[in-house]
Structure 1
Amino acid sequence: MIAEMVQAKYITLDFDDNGDEIVKEYKGDKKPNIISKKSNVMFIDSTNIEILNEYKHRDGKITFRDGVLYFFGRFGEVVFRTSMLEDYEINGDLLTFKTMNSVYRFKMLKDIKIDDSILASQENIDKVKSFYS
């Protein structure tokens, strides 16, 4: 992997005088995106600006529980969770999830089982919407 990073000019390798220690430097302002083997998606876009600015291009793993999407980081930490999922769309390796107030887009890195069972029940969605009426 280091050879690929050098060839892509993400890093340069410079050895100290003894030749024992490698000093790594990123080239330019472009940092390499090293994908964890546990990751199944990369977060790429959202209408939720705070989450977009904080986590854009971050790889991780998504799971679904009780109609909510959970995005986990490399160490198993919850990075963010959505509100109740109302709809989803799969277009090639692009995944789009729609909640009651936001849209989240991910690039699929590994196959993920996604079907209507991930969505929140209409009863639960109606219950939450009734609080805003």
Structure 2
Amino acid sequence: MIVRHLSEAEKGERKVEAENWNSVRLLLKEDNMGFSFHITTIYAGTETPIWYQNHLESVYCISGEGEVETCDDGKVYPITPGMIYILDKHDKHILRAKTEMKMACVFNPPLNGKEVHDENGVYPLEAASVAE
């Protein structure tokens, strides 16, 4: 059994900071579960272009408000607590936070831990592990 606490993970290498967000990676590839699980904070007033070409992602809103826009068709979906959106087709999208949002995120294939978006909003398929 694996047991971790968010408050402890926030203090160590499992917390990854980026310009518009931070992500606490609670479950990673090295845990051998076939997916990774993160609690991500999206900062208020930000807009983040994202395109997970190498990963599928499910995102559940715990708190805060914002919206997600799919780039292919321009559809905008409001994000409020209790809502989930699922990027099942490697959807290119724009994430906008009206207020600070806390999100629970699941990635397949799992992340190693140090990934941040590249210039196209993509996570590399293989990045450094938090153990390195």
TM-score of the superposition, structure 1-length normalised?
A: 0.25
TM-score of the superposition, structure 2-length normalised?
A: 0.25
Give 1 or 2: higher helix fraction: 1
User: Which has the higher Rg, Structure 1 or Structure 2?
Assistant: 1
